[in-house]
């Protein structure tokens, strides 16, 4: 790995597009007679954003006008679940199209992608797309170059290769392809993954990542492109929050509209991170409009898992971050749990001329299905070599849905697994099963396996059949 020793800010200064606090959603470009057959595809993935922390899902204290406008312009999913309750395996599912019964990772950092794996980026690149990843990857080991983004189908990569490195919003370096690129930040005692807390803070990583993402869009505006913008907002800096810092590890340049709120600084900082996330989405839509390509761009907005369980400053009612703004929307559990509080995410798709403005879908889908859907949207035949199934008819209103009959989740390191089949969901914690009727009990409070023994046995059978450990045994890290 080469170390490119120059200031990262200078690298992107020529492409700088300052965040505009007035941006609250972009107008659509004039439509052509019909959308292009091969749309630009944008996956905008938030990091630990709870479903209840978005205005389109009822949030009142946090303003998310750009996310809300995307929902009102497009299609909102009420039952979009992540493929995992933590980031690494969720991102693996998006890239490979498998659930955790067949994906490489079932927890953070416990495996890596191989040369033989076929990623979504590789599929789209084979269809003629320019492909770019900006932000957090999390599917590599540094010792395995075959797992790095540029070896997995991405023409351009800028950001964090390692998910622990992505905790640091003021890192000493970011990755540009295989190169380590210095910033002007100073992180005393940074660990080998680059994590820690900066004492000199000059280059804010989400801003640098955004500018490189925008440069990619500008450079590829004349051809179909796949932009995977995997921001680390609004994640905590875990390693930078262990000394009791006032911001609780939610590192921001400024508190913005929340500076005068009567909240602990950690809560203000978290809110400011959500604000920046929302601004970035609005600025992206503004850029697409300015380049006259918005009408041929499909945008998907998601979070990688549910709201966090971490504890920081108390606001008088709770010191759990995920409860400050009812991030779980009263679903049971948090990030790391296979109850719906850890799995349900805000899912939005907007494709001008294809999605119906203000529409809502209750299809039960996850990241593996998104992989298949985006491949089909790009003009490819729906993949049959993966677990996911395309839900493109839910976006366009054309065709017949042929989704999986059930979804499964595995988290061996956390002693959990789950199966969802229509209204029935089973969750196992340390091999103790609970069965829920989500039609009557969406909060997963009442175990009904005694009254529904046949359903309990069927879901248990599905869990055992698709256990990931018989497909990809996890290797020990060298």
Using the predicted structure, report yes or no on whether residue 475 has a pLDDT greater than 60.
no
In percent, the amount of the chain with pLDDT more than 70 equals: 90
The partner residues of 225 in beta bridges, in order of sequence, read 130
Residue 185, token pair as written in the block = 């930040």
338: which DSSP letter?
A: S
Using the predicted structure, report yes or no on whether residue 67 has a pLDDT greater than 50.
yes
Per-residue model confidence (pLDDT) at position 22: 34
List the Cα angle 251/195/341 in 5-degree steps: 60
Q: Is 316 exposed, middle or buried (0-12, 13-18, 19+ CB in 10 A)?
A: exposed
Using the predicted structure, report yes or no on whether residue 25 has a pLDDT greater than 80.
no
Select from 321, 223, 230 the least CA-distant residue to 269.
321
State pLDDT tens for residues 426-462. Answer: 999 998 999 999 999 999 999 999 999 999 999 999 9
**Structure pTM?**
0.92
State pLDDT tens for residues 324-339. Answer: 999 999 999 999 999 9
Cis peptide before 234 (omega within 30 of 0): yes
Q: How far is CA 348 from CA 57, 69, 222, in A?
A: 11, 10, 25
Task: Give the alpha-carbon dihedral of 182, 2, 175, 103, to 10 degrees.
Answer: -160
Phi, psi of 390 (to 5 degrees): -65, 135
Rg (C-alpha) for the chain, rounded Å, is 21
Average pLDDT, the chain: 91
State pLDDT tens for residues 352-380. Answer: 999 999 999 999 999 999 999 999 999 99
361: enclosing H helix or E strand: strand 359-361
Domains and CATH numbers, the chain: 34-404 (3.40.720.10)
Contacts of 35 (CB under 8 A, 6+ apart): 295, 296, 351, 352, 353, 354
Banded model confidence at residue 6, pLDDT cuts 50, 70, 90: very low
**DSSP line for 124-147:** HHHTT-EEEEEEE-----TT-GGG
87: enclosing H helix or E strand: helix 87-96
Task: Give the alpha-carbon dihedral of 109, 160, 214, 379, to 10 degrees.
Answer: -30
Listed in sequence order, the DSSP H helices in 97-237 are 120-126, 205-219
């Amino acid at each position: 790995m080469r170390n490119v020793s120059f200031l990262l800010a200078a690298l992107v200064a020529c492409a700088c597009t300052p965040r505009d606090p007035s941006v609250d959603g972009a107008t659509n470009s004039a439509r052509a007679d019909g959308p292009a057959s091969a749309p630009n595809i944008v996956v905008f993935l938030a990091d630990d954003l709870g479903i209840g922390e978005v205005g389109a899902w009822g949030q009142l204290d946090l303003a998310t006008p750009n996310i809300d406008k995307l929902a009102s312009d497009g299609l909102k999913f009420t039952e979009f679940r992540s493929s995992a309750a933590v980031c690494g395996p969720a991102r693996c599912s998006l890239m490979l199209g498998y659930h955790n019964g067949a994906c490489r990772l079932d927890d953070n950092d416990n495996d890596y992608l191989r040369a033989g794996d076929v990623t979504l980026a590789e599929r789209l690149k084979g269809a003629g797309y320019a492909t770019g990843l900006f932000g957090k990857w999390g599917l590599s080991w540094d010792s395995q170059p075959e797992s790095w983004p540029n070896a997995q189908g991405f023409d351009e990569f800028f950001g964090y290769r390692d998910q622990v490195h992505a905790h640091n919003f003021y890192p000493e370096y970011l990755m540009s392809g295989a190169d380590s690129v210095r910033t002007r930040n100073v992180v005393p005692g940074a660990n080998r993954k680059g994590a820690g807390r900066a004492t000199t803070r000059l280059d804010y990583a989400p801003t640098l990542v955004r500018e490189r993402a925008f440069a990619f869009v500008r450079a590829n505006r004349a051809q179909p492109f796949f932009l995977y913008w995997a921001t680390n907002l609004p994640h905590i800096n875990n390693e930078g929050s262990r000394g009791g810092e006032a911001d609780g590890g939610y590192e921001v340049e400024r508190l913005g509209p929340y500076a005068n709120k009567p909240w602990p600084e950690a809560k203000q900082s978290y809110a400011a991170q959500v604000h920046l996330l929302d601004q970035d989405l609005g600025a992206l839509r503004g850029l697409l409009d300015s380049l006259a390509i918005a009408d041929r761009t499909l945008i998907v907005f998601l979070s990688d898992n549910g709201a966090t369980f971490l504890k920081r400053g108390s606001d008088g009612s709770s010191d759990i971050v995920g409860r400050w703004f009812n991030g779980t929307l009263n679903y049971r559990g948090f990030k790391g749990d296979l109850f719906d509080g850890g799995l349900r995410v805000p899912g939005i798709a907007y494709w001008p001329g294809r999605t119906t403005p203000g529409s809502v879908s209750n299809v039960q889908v996850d990241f593996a299905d998104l992989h298949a859907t985006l491949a089909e949207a790009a003009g490819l035949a729906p993949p049959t070599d993966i677990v996911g199934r395309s839900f493109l008819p839910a976006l366009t209103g054309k065709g017949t849905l042929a989704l999986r009959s059930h979804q499964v989740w595995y988290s061996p390191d956390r002693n959990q697994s789950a199966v969802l089949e229509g209204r029935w969901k089973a969750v196992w914690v340390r091999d103790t099963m609970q069965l829920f009727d989500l039609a009557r009990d969406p909060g997963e409070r009442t175990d009904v396996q005694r009254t529904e023994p046949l359903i309990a046995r069927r879901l248990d059978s599905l869990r055992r059949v698709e256990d990931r450990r018989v497909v990809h045994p996890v290797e020990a890290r060298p």
